[in-house]
Amino acid sequence: MAKRGTPVPTGAGVCPENVEALLRDALQNDRFTLAYQPQVDLQTGQLDGAEVLLRWLPPTGAPVLPPAFIPTAEATGLIHPIGEWVLRTACGQTHRWNANNRPFRLAVNLSPRQFSRAEEIVLAALRETGLDPGRLELEITEQSVAEDLPAAAGVLRRLNALGVRLALDDFGTGYSSLQYLARLPVHTLKIDRSFVAGMIRTAKARIIVENIIRLAHGLSMRVVAEGVETPGQRDLLRRQGCDLAQGFLYSRPLAGKKLRMLLTRPEPCVQTAG
């Protein structure tokens, strides 16, 4: 058990045993919370859904972001109880919001380590919370499917049969095998923010984004652009026909209370600066 006032891990140079003890303590003492980043319809500006992002609230200091502790959680197996907590909490909150307001979609990240148990934990979270499966989207990365494509395709088909939606996250950064697009039952493609960042500066990044969008639409997938930070990126993505945008231009990840406030507006638009 970690002592109060234990230094907060910052990622680099953290002793993994220390992080492991702190993560166990966090699980026991309710020190995780969820932030929600809006996903916005690029054509209408309307709120379409949100991605759930895990935050760890250490006894002292600022919330810790996932890259500083997910690797340790994965290495120690703690990703399983943490990931189940994320799913259950996110599904429960969304179900309550859906009951009071208009239906809303929530995207939850699944670590590659959780992948083999995905069907079991998703089913349990849906049963426990009563959430309509169509309101849940699972974000997986290419890493989850790279090792064994036929097995991964099987897992995704079973998840699909539960009625949940599937998104391929950080598209373009991993292997980006076109095999994945051909063989996996994926509904949404998320273009990694490195391409979005590059598309104003270089014609190559712009052409890649344009053609990822075209390819995804040809395969009846929706496209989310990640890391949209400027009006210039938004305008270009809109012209290219990208469906949804997520990024600091629209909103930073929000506390649940704030997202709820957005949802209760008659027209839940997310304003941008430009």
Task: Please give the Cα distance from 229 to 183 (Å, whole number).
Answer: 32
Minimum distance of Mg ion from residue 185's CB (angstroms)? 18
Q: Return the one option of Mg ion, ligand C2E, none that residue 111 interacts with (CB less than 5 to 8 A, by type).
A: ligand C2E
Q: Which distant-in-sequence residues (6+ apart) come within 8 Å of 250 by Cβ?
A: 38, 40, 228, 270, 272
Q: Return the one option of Mg ion, ligand C2E, none that residue 66 interacts with (CB less than 5 to 8 A, by type).
A: ligand C2E
Minimum distance of ligand C2E from residue 96's CB (angstroms)? 19
Q: What's the DSSP call for residue 2? A: P
Q: Whose Cβ is closer to Mg ion: residue 22's or residue 186's?
A: 186
Q: Whose Cβ is closer to ligand C2E: residue 59's or residue 71's?
A: 71
The half-sphere exposure of 209 on its side-chain side, counting CA atoms within 13 A, is 32
Q: Whose Cβ is closer to Mg ion: residue 119's or residue 169's?
A: 169
Minimum distance of ligand C2E from residue 192's CB (angstroms)? 7
Q: What's the DSSP call for residue 28? A: H
Query: Concatenated DSSP letters for 56-122?
Result: E--SSSSPBPGGGTHHHHHHHTTHHHHHHHHHHHHHHHHHHHHHHSS--EEEEE--GGGGGGHHHHH
Q: Whose Cβ is closer to ligand C2E: residue 88's or residue 158's?
A: 88
Task: Please give the Cα distance from 137 to 167 (Å, whole number).
Answer: 7
Phi, psi of 57, deg, nearest 5: -100, 95
Q: Whose Cβ is closer to ligand C2E: residue 32's or residue 104's?
A: 32
Minimum distance of ligand C2E from residue 2's CB (angstroms)? 21
The half-sphere exposure of 50 on its side-chain side, counting CA atoms within 13 A, is 32
Strand partners, 106: 50, 136
Q: Return the one option of ligand C2E, Mg ion, none that residue 48 interacts with (CB less than 5 to 8 A, by type).
A: none
Minimum distance of ligand C2E from residue 169's CB (angstroms)? 5
Minimum distance of ligand C2E from residue 171's CB (angstroms)? 10
Q: Whose Cβ is closer to Mg ion: residue 22's or residue 69's?
A: 69
Q: Return the one option of ligand C2E, Mg ion, none that residue 54 interacts with (CB less than 5 to 8 A, by type).
A: ligand C2E
Which residue type does 141 have?
T
Run of H or E including 34:
strand 32-41
Q: Whose Cβ is closer to ligand C2E: residue 1's or residue 236's?
A: 236
Q: Say how many residues make up the chain.
A: 274
Minimum distance of ligand C2E from residue 225's CB (angstroms)? 10
User: Which positions lie near Mg ion, rule CB under 5 A?
Assistant: 109, 139, 169-170, 226
User: Which positions lie near ligand C2E, rule CB under 6 A?
Assistant: 37, 53-54, 65-67, 70, 83, 86, 109, 111, 139, 169-170, 193, 226-229, 246-248, 253
Task: Please give the Cα distance from 89 to 124 (Å, whole number).
Answer: 12
